[in-house]
């Protein structure tokens, strides 16, 4: 976006886009809570997909998904992705076509309405400051997941401020090994330009998501965990 167009976009952003995203999050959050209580997680996922697509259209944010042949809908994966922006969440949930359960920090789960809606969706909140508690949360979540639920980990643990891939944590890979699920690596490109980390500098743009071939954890044992972590990180980083 040119500097002139960015100046023109500012009133739209502050008086329409951002307020509407917050309003939609509140309204769809309430709907998700009621839907979850009455109809269950799969129905809540439809609500979440609708919310995500509306948020993208308001910005507007275009999402291109490449590599759709590398995964099958209604199939369970452990999705491992880099993380550039809060825009990653609606971009992925609204356009991948998978039943996604997010690994999210405990603080997000404490936000009124939003946190309760995420719990109805089946998202897993973890205390990043308490390693044992985080492991217990993830362990408990295994028992509630359906056979077509995908658990998504942002393996860096936080958002990148420059778009580069940071070191990966091992939690996603241990989870995949114990749950006997394939890793589905994703590369998110350009989202840090749409909404840089720690700012409200929202800008229309295009996010590219590259879906790579699954990595089957049955090909690795725990002694080779570092190998699969490094391999997955390299696959994701090479596509940037």
* pLDDT tens sequence for the chain (240 residues): 888 999 999 999 999 999 999 999 999 999 999 999 999 999 999 999 999 999 999 999 999 999 999 999 999 999 999 999 999 999 999 999 999 999 988 898 999 999 999 999 999 888 866 666 666 776 766 666 767 899 999 999 899 988 899 999 998 999 899 888 999 999 999 999 999 988 999 999 999 999 999 999 888 888 899 999 999 999 999 999
User: Strand, coil or helix: what is 73?
Assistant: coil
Angle formed by the axes of helices 88-95 and 41-58, nearest 10°: 120
- Number of domains within the chain: 1
Give one DSSP letter per residue of 107-176, joined into a string: HHHTSTTHHHHHHHHT-EEE-TT-HHHHHHHHHHHHTT--TTEEEEEETTSS--SSSPPPPPPSHHHHHH
* Distance, CA of 47 to CA of 119 (rounded, Å): 13
| C-alpha distances out from residue 197 to 24, 118, 207, Å | 21, 21, 15
Name residue, tokens 């509407």: 20
Q: Any idea what the CATH number is for the domain that residue 71 is in?
A: 3.40.1130.10
Angle formed by the axes of helices 18-39 and 114-121, nearest 10°: 50
Q: Give me the pLDDT at residue 170, please.
A: 92
Domain around 229: 3-238
Q: Give me the pLDDT at residue 219, please.
A: 83
Question: For the whole model, what pTM was predicted?
Answer: 0.93
* Distance, CA of 52 to CA of 42 (rounded, Å): 15
Q: Give me the pLDDT at residue 189, please.
A: 96
């Amino acid at each position: 976006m040119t500097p002139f167009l960015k100046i023109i976009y500012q009133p739209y952003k502050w008086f329409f886009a951002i307020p509407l995203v917050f309003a939609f999050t509140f309204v769809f959050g309430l709907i998700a809570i009621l839907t979850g209580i009455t109809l269950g997680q799969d129905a809540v996922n439809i609500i979440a997909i609708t919310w995500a697509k509306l948020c993208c259209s308001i910005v507007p944010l275009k999402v291109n998904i490449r590599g759709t042949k590398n995964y099958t809908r209604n199939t369970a994966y452990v999705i491992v992705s880099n993380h550039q922006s809060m825009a990653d969440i609606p971009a992925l949930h609204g356009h991948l076509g998978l039943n996604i359960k997010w690994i999210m920090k405990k603080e997000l789960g404490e936000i009124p309405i939003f946190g309760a809606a995420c719990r109805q969706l089946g998202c897993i909140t973890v205390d990043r400051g308490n390693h044992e508690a985080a492991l217990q949360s993830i362990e408990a979540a295994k028992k509630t997941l359906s056979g077509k639920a995908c658990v998504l980990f942002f393996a860096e643990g936080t958002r990148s401020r420059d778009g580069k891939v940071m070191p990966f944590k091992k939690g996603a890979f241990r989870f995949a090994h114990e749950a006997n699920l394939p890793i589905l690596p994703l590369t998110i490109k350009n989202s840090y330009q749409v909404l840089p980390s720690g700012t409200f500098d929202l800008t229309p743009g295009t996010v590219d998501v590259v879906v790579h071939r699954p990595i089957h954890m049955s090909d690795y044992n725990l002694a080779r965990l570092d190998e699969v972590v490094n391999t997955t990180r390299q696959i994701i980083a090479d596509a940037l």
